[in-house]
Structure 1
Amino acid sequence: MKPQTHPLLHGAATAVLALTLVPTANAALEEIVVTAQKREESQQEVPISISSFTGQGISDFQTVDLSALSGASPNVQIGHFGNTPHGAVFNIRGMGVIEPDPYAGQTVTTVVDGVPLAFNMLSLLDLYDIERIEVHRGPQGTLFGANTTGGVINVITRQPTGEAGGDLKVTLGNWNRVDVKGTVNLPINEQWAAKFTGQSHKRDGWTRNVVDASTMGDRDISSLRGYLKYDSGSTFDATLIAEVTRARNGSPIVTNGSLPGEVTYQAPGSSPGAGLGSMYQGPCSSATTRCKAPDKYLSANSSVQDVSDMDTYSTTLTMNWDLDWGQLVAITGYKDFELYEETDQDGGVFFIDDTRRGTEGRQLSQELRLTFNLAENTEIISGLFYQQNDWTHYQNFRIPFAGPLNQLTEDDWENWSTSIFTHAFIDLTDRLRLQVGARASYEETDAMVDVVTFANTEVGGSSVFDGGVAVAEIHEKGSEDWDGWAAKVGLDYKINEDIMAYAFISRGFKSGGFVGRISLPEEFVAFDQETVQTFEAGIKSEWLDNRLRVNASYFFNKYDDLQLALIYFCTDSLGTTINCNSVLNAAQAETQGLELEIEAAPIDGLMITASMGYLDATYEEFPFLDPASGNTLDRSGTDLQNSPELTASIGATYQFPLLSGSSTLGFRWTYSAEKFQGNLLNTPRGTIQPTKYLDANFKWEPENGSWAINLWGTNLLDDRYIDAVVDAPGFIGLMSYGPPRQVGVSLEYMFN
């Protein structure tokens, strides 16, 4: 049963409406310029659902990575997997990523400075020196390509200004947080400019290891980004961006949520011996009730190193030609990363299972895009896109509960994709515009998986993951190709200068693939692509002399061959109980909902924002073969995972003079209703509670604007939440927790 609307939302909506009814002459909303349709235009002129977040707002509220924006946009959830913090979980309007490893692909693509990120483990970006972030809700297949059936997170970094200057920012906070960020703009001559920006972010984790009292989930991230820009001053400009990021974080945190009788259950208070810690009380009390996050976050790492190291290198070259008859854009992107981490997979004081994982990946992409006028009333955007990805991955899984065994899985993957697209904007009248777009794509994947099971009696030291005698082997490889198409037809009509109505229908698809993490030969199968048909209608409007902006939309999505990840326990050829995985094309689903976004400037200096999203996301046809019982269950009518019925947010900033300077007081409150994670049965243990976060800041700067001090806090009410679950009933329950209260102060110095 879905929960009822939270009563706080009624008060929030009433407050927004009341404040918007008392305008003053000087108040006005700023125009928001976006690139949602591969060209710069006002957000109010773009006939799709978009939320925008400015770089200043991101900085003031100490938004460290994209997950902090979860719930701030209607029907948008952003998080990570329960035992893989690098794996981003984006879900928009009921559609989201299904697997942390690269083989499963994405349904929401993150695009940074025009380059789509192919790997899920790169998508949960660390945010610094950002111009803006655009959240495009719904399928974006014609202009942004395959694997955008849920939407696009479009990130634009701050570009070189060509003027000497920069800034330095130091942040101190609880959990021993220390951040240092700096930017320098260097003009070289009239045509050349450079820019360098970097950051260091360090803090302790907020989970305590009961084995040795150390903190878990520590973060230590350093990044450096450089820009070199050439501008001819007339017909050509080019920008080269190079970035390197070094992360030396603590290992992924797994909190034990298993119940008595399950394989990984460990009784509270039990201990393997003196000085080795005592087991904590887990967050789950029974199989029939929802789990609850404790006031104090506890876990245990009793068997592996506290390590999660990741190095990322990227380069982007963007070139723009202003031709007599159009504009040509070429964007070349390259990214390379290495990830190594060890995880205590049971989260207990007794050793039950753990993993060593390593991934190396590379992506190269090229987009050529031409914009020209076919006629006085017709603008065409056409282009070609190519992307090549390859990655290797290994996972060494120690499973002594099944015997003294190590299961070593090694993947070697290559993927190529090409597409051609065109999108036309046709002014039928001075108020009515027609959009027609299409994209044709071809994709090919070569996959190889080797799985070797070793008998290994080592229980300590450096060889616990190495050596042993091979007792079972699986060697599989395959090659498959897919072709697909996306299309869009829409109309938008300007009722007057301030109100636009629009509607469109579209088709998108997500590519197929192979299952990459297997334990049985029959798991290595190709799964088909999924498709979506969408209808959306909305209105974008401004009122009260540009002091009130109201945007609303309705959407309906129908999905065929929906891809679903299945994690379960099975028996191998040795009779051993092992972890198995699959990706199903077993479902049809429908999602529909309503979205409302409001911005208001009722008085001079005050800006209010509010949003609300309603979502109904259910399976229409889903005969699910439950591997635990062997029975086929009819899951039709049940809710999709990670799809809360209600999301809402309200925020405000108020700027006012104080002590010969300027002060800004801001807050934001976000709400997400109950949702399901963990498995396809929507079990009580796989239920995520409703969440409410309150953030605020107070900023002051002198009249000359040369420096600023910012007092900030996130999750000010210090509410404790479970934010991710892995649930295999009868075997294991794993949890991770949302961040507690964080407070601090930032000092920023700007120089010319």
Structure 2
Amino acid sequence: MTAVYALSRTISLFALAASLAAPAMAQQAPAVESTAEAADGIDGDIIVSARRRNESLLEVPISVTAVSGATLEAQGAPDITALQQQAPNMTTAVARGSNSTLIAFIRGVGQQDPLWGFEPGVGLYVDDVYVARPQGAVLDIFDVERIEVLRGPQGTLYGRNTIGGAIKYVTKRLGNEFGGRVKASYGSYNQIDLSGTVVVPLGSNFAVGAGVLWSQRDGYGKNLHTGAQHYDKDVLAGRVSAEFDNGDIFIRAAADRTEDRSNPRHGTRLNGFAGLPDFAPTESVYDTRAGIGDDNKVVTQGLSLTGEVGIGDGFTLKSITAYRDGRSDTLIDFDNTPGPVLDIPAFYKDWQFTQELQLLVEQERWQGVFGAFYLEGRASGAFDTVVAGAAPGGFTIYTGGNVKTKSIAFFGDFSFDVTDQFKVSAGLRWTKDDKEGTVLREQYLGLRSPEFGNANAIFLATRSDYTNDRTFEKLTPRISLSYQPTDDVNLYASWSRGFKSGGFDMRGDVVATPTTVDGYDPETMDSFEVGMKGAFLDRTMFLNLAGFFSKYKDQQVTIQAPSTTPGVIASFVDNAGRADIWGIEAELRALPHRNLQLQASVGYVNAKYKEFYTYIAGGTEPVDVSDQRFFQNTPEFTINSSVTWSTDLAGGRLSITPAVTLRSSIHMFEYVSPLDQKGYVLADASVNWTSDDDRFTIGVHGRNLFDERYRVGGYYFPGALYGDSVIGYYGPPRTFSVTGGFKF
């Protein structure tokens, strides 16, 4: 596709989105703070901390989307997966087979496989604490001030290098005034959300705070075999913190815990098999006939200590110390039938300790951050692959192991004002990762292994039993130039190099793929970007434009397919080769009247493999199949459009906000499969009323108003041995909810 044709399609689809939203003269709530009060007094500007200091978004030479927590609440957003309806070229979804595992992709880069030990392509930070674990990372919109989405490689500013981008979840500081908030929601499928926060000052400089969220919902569907709810929700989350702040010294100690007891998501069959009723697709895409069970539990928790102290005019020392751990006990029924045709009982557990030190500099003509980062952690888990038809009495492959990681990094990033209009920004990071992988893979006769409760299982053979270690080391630079011809326009160009560490495949089968003991290599990416950020028409219109081109090398891809050996699921991680990714992004926010706000974003990405070497049909030499491989979870177009109309009413402010999201087709895997999702449109609408004193809020929210059925994941195991299992997982159906809140 030529660039001209791509641009024309973008403009056409943008026009379609605007036409769908505009007739109602409303939109979802603004995707970012837009008032002077919400933006620290800067008229219409958005304040972000993408570069580890508070500054106007217009001045930041980085592609950033900032979304306030108030905005997401006003839209009725259930969790951070709603970010894909705000930011261009972004995919955020609940991972296949789970309730709270996050899949995140930015500009074609992400992590489809949430198995333990893999590095994410998109980094997640909660109050600057790096969260390595995708399990439990589908965070609810709770006690959050804002979320920032940074696109492109990150590393010279953040604790852990990430190759695709970063999501920053920023909670509110406590302050020194007594207060709190309670909120309740009720909606479709008996959805009940109850939350509350409170802040209690203990002196002029010290305060403690707490928050709790309980969220439950019946399933969108049902397990037709067991009668259990399917796609339900049962989450309890809490957070406590204590803060000291005297203006020169800030210290925060915080603890959080989230427990998710929602039933496992088994998906739904998309095809029949041999005319058997239990193998037929269900009437509803949210129903299942899974027989493996309905027990699921995910627990994540953490402690953190953050300190900031001024050490002189314009110099601040900052320390971030954190410990996190978690465990998931889950079940996945790959065949979606009452029998154990292809079942997976599994558990994952991990812990991580991180320490980050920063020196923040704010001088008249130069600003920057210099830091050191240390991470130590252990990610482990185990699962059975149960294949009933592979042998009389059943056949099981047990897979277990762990990855130990020690990482140390030093980084720096500074900006220098050459003139009042021309600025140079540069950064450099050195990273060293030491990894040790242990993998055990065994075969048993019987349904499940001894590890998962079958003491009578008969041991057959060991497929993998090894421990190996590797060290990965890399320098990754960044440089950008920006020019402001006026105070309201910023033109910039940047280049950065991203790095994602290598590791070991926890599913590696030494018999089938002997080289798995050597692990896989790191990924690298060189990303070039040019952009413009501007405020126009007396600062009533804000427009951000960006064009990017990235050269992606040695991409890590997990390939799973039935093996020629009966009962064996072959899996290996390939450094697939190289790819070119280019695209454009536009974000518009217009305030033509105090009662009207328009919001839109358009993203186009063209991601093509230039080399993709892999083994085909038992061949002994790798073959380049780049013309048959595609980027997964990467729609060519993402378009979000919304309009907010507001008016004074009954001692408060009424806002009506419909929104439209268009996403073009996606591939679930690197190859064409029946699970590939065609393009679709989502329409939402919200009505919110807030009292003039900001104490009372009432909201009515409708999401997916056209009741669109769209897949967000799947498993593909064709063949008679596996029941010809093609399983899909779907986004939420049409839902409505009513919310009320009170501040005190």
Q: Is the pair's TM-score, using the shorter chain for normalization, greater than 0.5?
A: yes
**2:31: which partner in 1?**
none
Q: Is the 8 A contact 2:387 2:567 kept in 1?
A: no
| Contact kept? 1:71, 1:672, Cα under 8 Å | no
Q: Deviations over 1:10-52 (max 9, x none)?
A: 23347899999xxxxx998632111111111111110011111
Q: Is the 8 A contact 2:334 2:725 kept in 1?
A: no
Identify the match of residue 545 of structure 2 among 540, 552, 556: 552
DSSP 3-state at the match of 1:299: coil
Q: 1:436-515 counterparts in 2 under 5 A? A: 436-456=426-446, 465-473=454-462, 474-515=464-505
1:238 aligns with 2:251: yes
CA distance in 1, matches of 2:108, 2:285: 32
Aligned counterpart, 1:249: 262
* 8 A contact 2:574–2:614 mirrored in 1: no
In the other structure, the counterpart of 2:406 is 416
Deviations 1:71-116 (A, max 9, x none): 4211001113322444321111111113111222111001110011
Say which is worse superposed, 88-97 or 627-636, in terms of deviation.
Answer: 627-636
Quote the offset at 1:719 in angstroms: 1.2
Are the structure 2 counterparts of residues 38 and 723 from structure 1 closer, same or farther at C-alpha, using a change threshold of 3 Å? same
CA distance, structure 2, for counterparts of residue 178 and residue 629 of structure 1: 55
Unaligned runs of 5+ in 2: 27-33, 37-42
How many percent identity over aligned positions?
Answer: 27
Q: Does 1:191 align with 2:205?
A: yes
1:103-148 deviation line (CA, Å, top 9, x unaligned): 2211100111001111122432222111000010111122125541
Q: How does 1:219-230 map to 2 (within 5 A)?
A: 219-230=233-244
8 Å contact 1:205–1:218 — kept in the other structure? yes
Q: Secondary structure at the match of 2:384?
A: strand
Q: Does the residue aligned with 2:635 lie in a helix, a strand or coil? A: coil
Cα 1:420–1:214 change in 2 (3 A) is: same
| Alpha-carbon separation, structure 1, partners of 2:572 and 2:194 | 43
1:105–1:120: 8 Å Cα contact kept in structure 2? no
The verdict on how the C-alpha distance between 1:390 and 1:517 changes in structure 2, with shifts beyond 3 A counting, is same
SS in structure 2 opposite 1:82?
A: coil
Deviations 1:632-685 (A, max 9, x none): 35224853222111100011222211233321211222111001113x2223x1
Residues in 1 aligned to 2:285 and 2:234: alpha-carbon distance in whole angstroms = 23
- For residue 464 of structure 1, report the CA deviation from its aligned partner: 6.2
Task: Give the equivalent residue in structure 2 for 1:400.
Answer: 388
Q: Which amino acid aligns with 1:143?
A: L
1:54 matches 2:68: yes
Partner of 1:652: 643
Q: Distance in 2 between matches of 1:672 and 1:361?
A: 34
Structure 1 runs not aligned, ≥5 long: 21-25, 260-264, 272-277, 283-293
State the AA in 2 paired with 1:712: H
The answer on whether the counterparts of 1:146 and 1:511 sit within 8 Å (CA) in structure 2 is no
Q: Relative to structure 1, is the Cα distance of residues 116 and 41 closer, same or farther in structure 2, using a 3 angstrom cutoff?
A: same
1:246 is displaced (CA, Å) by 1.2
Partner in structure 2 of residue 749 of structure 1: 742
Corresponding position of 1:10: 15
Distance in 1 (CA, whole Å) between partners of 2:249 and 2:317 is 10
Cα distance in structure 1, aligned partners of 2:539 and 2:352: 44
Matches of 1:219 and 1:602, distance apart in 2: 41
RMSD: 2.6
- Indicate whether 1:123 and 2:137 are aligned: yes
Instruction: Quote the Cα distance in structure 1 between the aligned partners of 2:20 and 2:381.
Output: 52
Q: Which amino acid aligns with 2:132?
A: A
What one-letter code is carried by the residue in structure 1 that aligns with 2:256? E
Moved more, 700-709 or 110-119: 700-709
Q: Deviations over 1:508-546 (max 9, x none)?
A: 111000111134442333100011111100000001111
CA deviation profile, 1:546-566 (whole Å, cap 9, x unmatched): 100011000000011111111
Shift of 1:491: 0.4
Q: Secondary structure at the match of 1:662?
A: strand
Match of 1:314 among 302, 322, 328: 302
The structure 2 residue matched to 1:70, chosen from 64, 84, 95, is 84
Among 663, 676, 698, which residue is 1:672 paired with? Answer: 663
Q: Is the 8 A contact 2:261 2:296 kept in 1?
A: yes
- Identify the range of structure 1 (415-424 vs 390-399) with the bigger mean alpha-carbon deviation: 390-399
Pairing partner for 1:738 from 731, 734, 742: 731
CA deviations over 1:55-79 (Å, ceiling 9, x no partner)? 1111122222211222421100111
SS of match in other structure, 1:655: strand
The answer to whether the 8 A contact 1:648-1:670 is kept is yes
1:640 is the counterpart of 2:631: yes
Aligned partner of 1:340 in structure 2 is 329
Question: SS state of the match for residue 348, structure 1?
Answer: coil
What is the number of equivalent residue pairs in this alignment?
713
Any idea what SS the aligned residue of 2:71 has? helix
Alignment of 1:346-361 (within 5 A): 346-361=335-350
Determine the structure 2 residue equivalent to 1:136: 150
Is 1:699 paired with 2:685? no
Equivalent pair of 2:120/2:162 in contact (CA under 8 Å): yes
The 1-side partners of 2:618 and 2:628 are apart by: 21
Distance 2:171 2:616 in 1: 46
Given that 1:5 and 1:646 are in contact with CA atoms closer than 8 Å, whether structure 2 keeps it comes out as yes
Q: Where does residue 531 of structure 1 map in the other structure?
A: 524
**What are the equivalent positions in structure 2 for 1:4-403 lying under 5 Å apart?**
9-13=14-18, 30-144=44-158, 147-231=161-245, 233-258=246-271, 265=273, 267=275, 270-271=276-277, 278-281=278-281, 297-302=286-291, 304-325=292-313, 326-372=315-361, 376-403=364-391
Counterpart of 1:602 (choices 592, 595, 611) is: 592
| Structure 1 position 569 matched with structure 2 position 562 | yes
Distance 2:334 2:416 in 1: 56
Letter in 2 for 1:660: G
C-alpha distance 470-539 of structure 1, shift in aligned 2 (>3 A): same
1:86, 1:472 → 2: CA distance? 35
Change beyond 3 A, Cα 1:114–1:463: closer
The counterpart of 2:702, out of the listed 713, 724, 736, is 713
**1:163-218 CA deviation, whole Å, 9 max, x = no partner?**
11111111101111111010111111111111111100000111222224432122
Match in the other structure for 2:714: 725
C-alpha contact 1:62 1:712 (8 A) present in aligned 2: yes
Structure 1 counterpart of 2:654? 663
C-alpha distance in structure 2 between counterparts of 1:106 and 1:533, whole Å: 18
Residue 359 and residue 14 in structure 1: after superposition, are their counterparts in 2 closer, same or farther (change >3 A)? Answer: closer
Q: Which residue identity is paired with 2:677?
A: I
Q: Could you say what secondary structure the match of 1:623 adopts?
A: strand
Equivalent pair of 1:106/1:147 in contact (CA under 8 Å): no
In structure 1, how many angstroms separate the alpha carbons of the residues matched to 2:614 and 2:177? Answer: 61
Classify 1:145/1:484 alpha carbon distance in 2 versus 1 (closer, same or farther; 3 Å).
farther
3-state SS of 2:117 partner: helix
Q: TM-score, normalised by structure 1?
A: 0.90
